[in-house]
Each structure stands twice: as C-alpha cells, then as structure tokens.
Chains A and B, each alone.
Chain A
Amino acid sequence: MSLAQRVGKNGIGWLLPALVIAGWEAASRAGVMPASVLPAPSAVAEAFWRLTLSGELIRNIGVSTARALAGFAVGGSIGFALGLANGLSTLSRGLTDTTLQMIRNIPHLALIPLVILWFGIDEEAKLFLVALGVFFPIYVNTLLGIQSVDPQLVEMGRVYGMDRSALFFRVILPGALPAIFVGLRYALGIMWLTLIVAETISASSGLGYMAMQAREFLLIDVVVLSILIYALLGKLADSLARLLERLSLGWHPAFQNG
C-alpha cells in the first residue's frame, strides 16, 4: 500500500466527523440550533482555550487519568492474577470461580450508593468502582485465554522437556494473549465509563466534576467540551491497546499484512 493510499484510507474515517462539525457550526450560526441547547463548535473550542489557559482543564484531565489508571492497575492486576491462578490450577478455580461468577452478575454501578456510604466521596470510592469494573473483563478473558490454549501444544512442550516456567512463558501465556487483549480493550472502555459516572455523582475534582460544575453555572460549552474529552481519552486508550496488540501479536494471521 502506498503512502497516499494509506493516508486516504485513514483520512476517509475523519471525513464524516468533519462534515458533522461543519454542519453543526453552520446550523449554530444560522440560529437554527440555539446555544442553550448545543453551543457552536467554535464556542466549544473557545471554552477549550479558556480552560487550557487557566490550567483548569489540564489539572482535571490529570486527576481523572490518574484515577483511571490507578483503578485499572489495581483491578486489572488482581483480575489477571486470579485469571492465571484459576486457569492453571483446578483447585484454585474450584475454590473461587463460582463465587466470582456470582458477583459478576451484579452491575458494579449498582454498588454506588453502598460505595458512597463506605467511602464518602473520597478517592477510594472512585478507585474501588473502577477497579471492580475493570476486574471482571480481565479476569474472565485471562481465564478463557488460558483454558483455550491448545492442549496439543502443551503436550508437545512437555515431550520436549520444557519445565513449568518454560511451558508457561513459551506456550501458555502467548497462547492466552489474544484473549487477554480482548479483555484489556473491553476493560479500558469500562474504566472510562465507570469513572465518568463516579465523578459525575460524587467528586470534587476531575472531568466529571468539571462538567457538573459547568452545568450548575449553565456553561454548556464546558459540558460539551468535557464529553468530547472523554471521547478522546477513550479513543486514545483504545488506540494504545491496539498498538500494543499489534506489536505483541505479530505472529497472528489477523495482524499480518496490516
């Protein structure tokens, strides 16, 4: 594929958003769309500039990102560890899997009232909710990945004298990796979703808080800006995960010639 074709292929995806924004701006200027319903893109851009200059935007993005990553690190690593343990040991799976599957059926956002009672609106509340939301996709997909590793390959590894650690790092983990990535990308989506909800309901900083503050002062441009930034952060996280996926799954036919 030539460079021009590549740019064309990626560029075409941005054509529709660009048209929508242009139409939206035109509608606002013509007065068809009142600013109290949806401010013009130029107004949103202005809000972006204003908040960037005051440092408020960067600070809130920083706070939200730190929360998201902390919750992800806690929930993700526990989910990954339990997924590995339950994939590798029938004893561990027998002990914990039924319990976990039961808990999984509770939507984690349903716990918000309880979480507020426990933690108030402190950082722990957000961390707990994000960690819980992230935990299950990572756990379920890690477990699934390990269980779906081809037993014939594992037997081959044994016949060729691999010890437990070689078997794990050379056969089982790489075999489980595609499923683990599915879990990772899903978990990143849940991570932002949970954070938005948690910050909107109870927070004193962060993007969600910024949006709620703006609503009270009827700053619709800031509300729309917050929503757009959430979308961009979500897209960024997903793109990073995809890049990581492409780098580590180069052997997979689905990622060749790409």
Chain B
Amino acid sequence: MTAASLTAARSFVATPGRPIGSVEGRRAFAFRHAGKRFGDKTVLDGIDLDVPAGQFLAVIGKSGCGKSTLLRLLAGLDRPTSGSLTFGVEEEGYSRTRFMFQEPRLLPWASVVENVEVGLTGIAIGTEARHRALDILGEVGLADRADEWPSVLSGGQKQRVALARALVGHPQILALDEPLGALDALTRIEMQQLLERIWIAQKFTAVLVTHDVAEAVALADRVVVISEGRIALDLDIPVERPRRRGSVELARLEGKILDRLFG
C-alpha cells in the first residue's frame, strides 16, 4: 500500500525501523473523525489518526492549518467539536500528556530546579520532587545550573529546562509544538539529538509539530501532513537509528513530503 493513501484509520502496526524493543500493539491515542470549529470557521474536519504507544509522530503543515489546534485537543486544552479522541486503555489520559510549547514558558521567579518541579505538580512533592528534578536536569546537561534564575540562561538552555519539566513526570504522551523553532541551527541539532536520546530511553509517545521537514524525517517514525483540516499524507519513515542527517534515503522522503506540501 502506498503511504499517501493512508488517510483513513490505521490499525495497530509495529513501527518499522524502531530498533529498541517495546510497547508494540498498545494504542497511545486515537482521533476518530475529529473536528474542531471556532465559530463558523472549521479548522479541523475529520481527522482520523491512530497512534501506537511509543511512536514518534511528526506533524507538518502550512501555517494556520491547525497543527497547534490538534495538539491542544490532544493535551486536553480544547475539546473536539465533532468526532472523538480516545486514549489507550491503561493510560491515565490527559494527566499524563505533557505539552512543550514553542516558548520555554519558565516561571521567571522560580529557580531552574523549581521550574522543573512544576512538572511534578500532583505527582511528587518535597525532597522526592527535588531529587527527580535534579536527576532529569542532569540528563539534559544542566545539573550545575539548578539554583539559578531562568533569566540568566541562554535560549537553548531555557528550552532544555522546559524539556526537563515536560519529562520529569514520565508522561506517556509528549506533545511538542515547534519547541525548537526559535533556536539557532546548531543548538537545534543538539536539541534534536537530546530529544531522540531521551525518547529512546523513556519510551513515551512523541507528537512533534514542526515546520522543518528535515527535522521531521530525522526524528520521526511517522510523518503526517495536515492540509485543509484533514490528513493529506501519512508516511512511515522506515530508517534505522541512529540516522545520518542528509542521507539519500532521508532526502528522498523529505522530497516526497515537500511535493505533497507544495505540489
């Protein structure tokens, strides 16, 4: 079957190309004919998307096509106006969906480690929260900045704190809305590698909205393109990890996506 024809609901398939073991077959979440209207403006119109647990999904589309809206539905910030969104059976649903914004959105009046502890609201408090926050700060390479104010960090460091905050509660689903959009190219690649490394270690389901097609094919198991409120392309990226940026195979997939976007 051709990838482009896969606009309807998919059944559970093991993700090709994922070398680490896991959680095949369990579903993370599924949109069924989900739609979202604001007033009389229809933004999403019949989204069918079934995502197995542990998959790295990238969402691409032109500005204003409804990518952020889709993520907000997923994070429970909005409700679909038609259709449904269901989570896998064992999931605790919204409480375990974490959201990483395009901006770091750190509390300026809380230290770095206190900001990470925000990610443990309702999960852990006190010394346990402090320990877990310091651990994850170590993973993103900022253990030595734990007691500083966010205002003294660089843009990339702030975004790493935001990533630590999103991950510290061990989310089952991590929704990322162009989290790297504002970073310079080098920091961006570094952050992509960090994200991939932590995703492989923690095995959460990642949904990454991005404008950057190269980023999508470098990171994701699967790329969907949204256009006119629907899924216009649903493409598996069956490339082994670690992936080599700029390889012929990735370039071919990238071309395919760009064709669909502008063809």
- Judge whether B77 and A170 touch: CB under 8 Å: no
B101 contacts which of A152, A171, A250, A256 (Cβ < 8 Å)?
A152
- Judge whether B121 and A174 touch: CB under 8 Å: no
User: Quick one: closest B residue to A167, CB to CB?
Assistant: B121
Q: Which residues of B contact A171 (CB under 8 A)?
A: 107
Q: How close is B148's CB to chain A, nearest CB, in angstroms?
A: 10
Interface size for A (C-beta < 8 A) is: 22
- Judge whether A174 and B107 touch: CB under 8 Å: yes
- Judge whether B101 and A156 touch: CB under 8 Å: yes
**Binary per-residue interface labels of chain A (168-179) against chain B in the complex, 1 for a CB within 8 Å, 0 otherwise:** 001100110100
Q: Which residues of A contact B108 (CB under 8 A)?
A: 251-252
**Binary per-residue interface labels of chain A (139-181) against chain B in the complex, 1 for a CB within 8 Å, 0 otherwise:** 0000000000000110111111110001000110011010000
- Judge whether A153 and B107 touch: CB under 8 Å: yes
Assess whether A253 is interfacial by the CB under 8 Å rule.
yes
Q: How close is A82's CB to chain B, nearest CB, in angstroms?
A: 24
Q: How close is A258's CB to chain B, nearest CB, in angstroms?
A: 13
- Judge whether B103 and A159 touch: CB under 8 Å: no
User: Quick one: closest A residue to B123, CB to CB?
Assistant: A161
- Judge whether A251 and B109 touch: CB under 8 Å: yes
- Rounded to whole angstroms, the CA-CA distance of A132 and B95 in the bound complex is 47
- Judge whether A161 and B122 touch: CB under 8 Å: yes
Assess whether B251 is interfacial by the CB under 8 Å rule.
no
Assess whether B193 is interfacial by the CB under 8 Å rule.
no
Assess whether B142 is interfacial by the CB under 8 Å rule.
no
- Judge whether B109 and A159 touch: CB under 8 Å: no
Assess whether B257 is interfacial by the CB under 8 Å rule.
no
Task: Tell me the residues in window 171-226 of chain A with beta carbons closer than 8 Å to chain B beta carbons.
Answer: 171, 174-175, 177
Task: Tell me the residues in window 41-99 of chain A with beta carbons closer than 8 Å to chain B beta carbons.
Answer: none
Q: Which residues of B contact A155 (CB under 8 A)?
A: 77, 105
- Judge whether B105 and A156 touch: CB under 8 Å: yes
Assess whether B35 is interfacial by the CB under 8 Å rule.
no
- Judge whether B103 and A166 touch: CB under 8 Å: no
- Judge whether B121 and A161 touch: CB under 8 Å: yes
Which secondary structure characterizes the binding site on chain A?
A: helix
Interface size for B (C-beta < 8 A) is: 20
Q: Which residues of A contact B99 (CB under 8 A)?
A: 159
- Judge whether A170 and B110 touch: CB under 8 Å: yes
**Binary per-residue interface labels of chain B (148-183) against chain A in the complex, 1 for a CB within 8 Å, 0 otherwise:** 010110000000000001000000000000000000
A159-B75, A161-B95 known; A152-B105 Cβ under 8 A: yes
Assess whether B225 is interfacial by the CB under 8 Å rule.
no
Assess whether B119 is interfacial by the CB under 8 Å rule.
yes
Q: Which residues of A contact B103 (CB under 8 A)?
A: 152
Task: Tell me the residues in window 212-263 of chain B with beta carbons closer than 8 Å to chain A beta carbons.
Answer: none
- Judge whether A162 and B121 touch: CB under 8 Å: yes
- Rounded to whole angstroms, the CA-CA distance of A250 and B110 in the bound complex is 10
User: Quick one: closest A residue to B108, CB to CB?
Assistant: A251
- Rounded to whole angstroms, the CA-CA distance of A256 and B108 in the bound complex is 13
Assess whether B134 is interfacial by the CB under 8 Å rule.
no
User: Quick one: closest B residue to A249, CB to CB?
Assistant: B109
- Judge whether B109 and A174 touch: CB under 8 Å: yes
Q: How close is B120's CB to chain A, nearest CB, in angstroms?
A: 9
- Judge whether A256 and B121 touch: CB under 8 Å: no
**Binary per-residue interface labels of chain A (230-258) against chain B in the complex, 1 for a CB within 8 Å, 0 otherwise:** 00000000000000000001111100100
Assess whether B118 is interfacial by the CB under 8 Å rule.
yes
Q: How close is B73's CB to chain A, nearest CB, in angstroms?
A: 13
- Rounded to whole angstroms, the CA-CA distance of A170 and B108 in the bound complex is 11
User: Quick one: closest A residue to B75, CB to CB?
Assistant: A159
- Rounded to whole angstroms, the CA-CA distance of A171 and B103 in the bound complex is 16
Q: How close is A158's CB to chain B, nearest CB, in angstroms?
A: 8
Q: How close is B106's CB to chain A, nearest CB, in angstroms?
A: 9
Q: Which residues of A contact B121 (CB under 8 A)?
A: 160-162, 166
User: Quick one: closest B residue to A248, CB to CB?
Assistant: B109
Q: How close is A125's CB to chain B, nearest CB, in angstroms?
A: 41
- Judge whether B149 and A251 touch: CB under 8 Å: yes
**Binary per-residue interface labels of chain B (200-218) against chain A in the complex, 1 for a CB within 8 Å, 0 otherwise:** 0000000000000000000
A residues at B contact (CB < 8 Å): 152-153, 155-162, 166, 170-171, 174-175, 177, 249-253, 256
B residues at A contact (CB < 8 Å): 75, 77, 95, 98-99, 101, 103, 105, 107-110, 118-119, 121-122, 149, 151-152, 165
Known: A159-B75, A177-B109, A251-B109. 13 other contacts (CB 8 A): A152-B101, A152-B105, A156-B118, A170-B107, A170-B110, A170-B118, A174-B109, A250-B149, A251-B110, A251-B149, A252-B108, A252-B109, A256-B149
Can you show 22 pairs from A to B with CB atoms below 8 A apart? A152-B103, A153-B105, A156-B118, A157-B118, A158-B77, A160-B98, A160-B119, A160-B121, A161-B121, A161-B122, A166-B121, A170-B107, A170-B110, A177-B109, A249-B109, A250-B149, A251-B108, A251-B110, A251-B149, A252-B108, A252-B109, A256-B151
